[in-house]
Amino acid sequence: MKKQKFPAYYSIWHKLGHYGLQYSANLVLAFLILPILVIIPLSFNVEPYFTFTEGMVTFDPDAYSLRWYEGMINDPNWRLAIKNSLIIGVFATLIATILGTMAAVGLSSKNMPYKRLVMALLLSPMIVPLIIIAAGMFFFYAKFGLAGNYAGLIIAHAVLGIPFVIITVTATLTSFDRSLYFAGLSMGASPLKSFFDIVVPMIRPGVISGAMFAFVTSFDEVVVVLFLAGPGQRTIPRQMFSGLREQINPTILAVATVLIAIAVMFLITLELLRRRSDRLRGLDEHA
Amino acid sequence: MLCSHCYISNISLKIKIMSDIQSNERIRSKVILLSKKEANFAKKEIRRSKMTAFFMVTPLLVFLLFAFVAPIGTMLHRGFYSPVVASLIPDTLDKLNQWSGEGIPNDDVLTSLAIDFKRLANERQSGKIAAALNRNMPGASSVVKSTARKMRRVDDAELKANGAELLLNAHEKWSNTKIWFALRKAGETYSDTHYLKALDLERNSLGELQVREASQIYIQLYSKTLKLALYITLACLIIGYPLAFYLANAPAKTANLLMIFVLLPFWTSLLVRTTSWIALLQTNGVVNSFLMSIGVTSSPLEMLYTEFSTIIAMTHILLPFMILPLYSVMKGIDPSYFRAALSMGARPISAFLKVYLPNTLPGLSAGALLVFIISVGYYITPALVGGTDGQMISNIIAFHMQQSNNWGLAAALGTLLLLLILSLYWLYDRFVGASNIKLG
């Protein structure tokens, strides 16, 4: 560690406080990340346990294997779950993104009536506990034939993703300079052309990150699936949930490791998007 | 900086409002200079832009009304609406409603019920009545079932002639007025029974409210849920605050790198994080093996399936929601305030309490309210790691939905939870602003 230089007026307590802060911050960072990292080596365990075997600690190659990954790929239940998660996620994201982006554009207008009330309503699916949403949908969707099929789950997950699209797109729009749109109009572009050629490219990073949030929300959701899905619509989290409740099996750890890898990819993509958005808006990279 | 864009602090919001007021005044002074025709045109233009904005929002509003608001409305309705018994024995209930409440009802009612029981036993529906009646009067389920079984064997003519006597002989409880009150109560299509039960109340035979005699569990459950949510919020605050402070004051490069530690858990599936806590805390899990290998304990500690495991796993899951708003507020605080207080002779602790802490209150209240709101309604993590004493209100709602099939009670409990959450959300919207919820 580099030796710290303190200002002359720092007392001994102040210096102690400084180091105390540094160590406690590092401890919290470890608390945040270690539980996630610990999954990864465990998923290569050759034994069917959730713990480190002696062989794993001494780095014996025989203690490691890919059998749980093979198990995941060869199990028809997991394959179906992966397919279902993708189908439901993609369609729910499409609905949430299209409706959410339109609404966010409307909401960002200065002249939107009842703005605060509408905003609170549109964001409430994020706040209302999932169990209440799921129970309500269980009663209501069955009447319309939306229980036990893809359509119901797609609609339900679109509802859950909408607040995220609204938040990210609104955030991009607050810094969007509306005069650019009017400049397009003044040069003879039709409102639609001006919207699609000027506004859409500017807010695209916000739309994409909103879509990613919506997709992850659907991809990670299990409560609504527990209530609305039939046996043919089991998703990855649903499969993990029953796996954790019934027979704990390291295949879940293999799936978890794959999901961690996906999370890392999403994190990188979002960061790149954010940089691009800042560049488009002319913000300084290192502001 | 990883997350500068979403959070608008209260201060900048106020500045925005001020500038809005100023620009409005400017517009007003301009309007006076406009001719009538021009003013009308401007008015029309504003109305048009209002309509455009509204039409952009309409599709989503309609979609949410159908897919989100209506289902929740149905649930509220479900708490009052219990059509099962009323639809199974409508004639008997009609007659029972004439009953004065003194002595047992007349033979007409008894015969009608006996005939109904035979029909229901043949249709295999008597279990539904048994379950519904049992909720109003514990123990009534077996009375209904055995009576229905006996009535099934009697032939129709005999039943018509001697139904009342047969019913009274089938089970001694039919001579007790209590079961008839319970049946009349269960037969109401709309009733507040479920809501009262969710509040540990009931009506006595005179219709007065009283504390439920049989069992009082739900008030306790709500207070336990609030207690756990409070513990989780405090834990997030205590361990999140120093980290947010450290990140906000670290050099940009270090902060960006360390922010990954906060954002990766945020993006990782909830079930993955819950799985890892199971792997860590179970009897033969990582933590126990570690503690035993360094000799802290000789036998494994029981940590999984307790209140403790619920609190620690949920603190881990919700910590980013605390750190992110704190971080962005701390980022905007000028460090020279703190140094100025020190240079004027304040001790570090009082400088922190009197200068720094008040400045972080917007982020602190945003994070704490968000964590509290989310944890009050949490279901998955308590269900998987909570065991019996780590269960929260959501888990009991799910239990009544899926196992005991008491949908009315589940709906009533859900409504109370919803009211709690909405009042917290209202607070959040007032103090923080719903549109200021920030994401990574």
Q: Are residues B397 and B263 in the same domain?
A: yes
Q: Hey, is the C-beta of A181 within 8 angstroms of any chain B C-beta?
A: no
3-class DSSP state of B296:
coil
Give the CATH number of the domain where residue B400 resides: 1.10.3720.10
Which chain B positions have a beta carbon within 8 Å of A152's beta carbon?
Answer: none
Q: Does some domain include residue B203?
A: no
Lowest-pLDDT range of A28-42, A232-246, B283-297: B283-297
Q: Does some domain include residue B56?
A: no
At A17, the pLDDT band (50, 70, 90 cuts) reads confident
Classify domain A76-280 at the CATH superfamily level: MetI-like (1.10.3720.10)
- How high is the pLDDT of residue A116? 84
B268 and A219 within 8 Å at the Cβ level: the answer is: no
A252 and B275 within 8 Å at the Cβ level: the answer is: yes
Residue B115 half-sphere exposure toward CB, CA atoms < 13 A: 18
Q: Are residues B140 and B244 in the same domain?
A: no
Q: Are residues B92 and B185 in the same domain?
A: yes
Residue B62 Rama label (left phi>0; alpha psi -120 to 50; beta): alpha
For residue range A113-148, list pLDDT tens digits in order: 888 889 889 999 988 999 999 999 998 999 999 988
Q: Are residues B244 and B141 in the same domain?
A: no
Q: Which of B160, B183, B171, B167 is nearest to B101 (CA)?
A: B183
At B323, the pLDDT band (50, 70, 90 cuts) reads very high
Q: Are residues B170 and B258 in the same domain?
A: no
Q: Are residues B132 and B233 in the same domain?
A: no
Rg (CA), chain A: 24
Cα B223 to Cα B229: distance, rounded to the nearest angstrom = 10
Nearest residue of A to residue B250, measured between CA atoms: A22
Asked if B382 contacts B232 with a C-beta cutoff of 8 angstroms, the reply is no
Which chain A positions have a beta carbon within 8 Å of B284's beta carbon?
Answer: 49-51
Q: Hey, is the C-beta of A59 within 8 angstroms of any chain B C-beta?
A: no
pLDDT of residue B9 exceeding 50: no
Q: Are residues B299 and B404 in the same domain?
A: yes
- How many angstroms separate the first and last alpha carbons of chain B? 11
SS3 string, chain A, reads: CCCCCCCCCCCHHHHHHHHHHHHHHHHHHHHHHHHHHCHHHHCCECCCCCCCCHHHHCCCHHHECCHHHHHHHHCHHHHHHHHHHHHHHHHHHHHHHHHHHHHHHHHCCCCCCCHHHHHHHHHHHHCCCHHHHHHHHHHHHHHHCCCCCHHHHHHHHHHHHHHHHHHHHHHHHHCCCCHHHHHHHHCCCCHHHHHHHHHHHHHHHHHHHHHHHHHHHHHHCCHHHHHHCCHHHCCHHHHHHHHHHCCCCCHHHHHHHHHHHHHHHHHHHHHHHHHHHHHHCCCCCCC
For residue range B337-392, list pLDDT tens digits in order: 888 888 888 887 888 889 899 989 888 988 999 899 999 999 999 999 988 888 89
Residue B160 C-alpha, separation from nearest chain A C-alpha, in angstroms: 39
Structural domains of chain B, count: 2
Q: Does some domain include residue B73?
A: no
pLDDT of residue A212 exceeding 60: yes
pLDDT of residue A283 exceeding 80: no
Q: Is the pTM of this model over 0.90?
A: no
Q: Does some domain include residue B121?
A: yes
Cα B78 to Cα A59: distance, rounded to the nearest angstrom = 58
Q: Hey, is the C-beta of B369 within 8 angstroms of any chain A C-beta?
A: no
Q: Does some domain include residue B352?
A: yes
Domain that holds residue B283: 218-436
Q: Are residues B236 and B283 in the same domain?
A: yes
Q: Does some domain include residue B370?
A: yes
Test mutation, B13, B23, B268, chain A, max A CBs within 10 A: B268
A9: nearest CB among B343, B418, B440: B343
A244 and B271 within 8 Å at the Cβ level: the answer is: yes
Which chain A positions have a beta carbon within 8 Å of B50's beta carbon?
Answer: 109, 111-113
- How high is the pLDDT of residue A218? 95
Q: Are residues B398 and B264 in the same domain?
A: yes
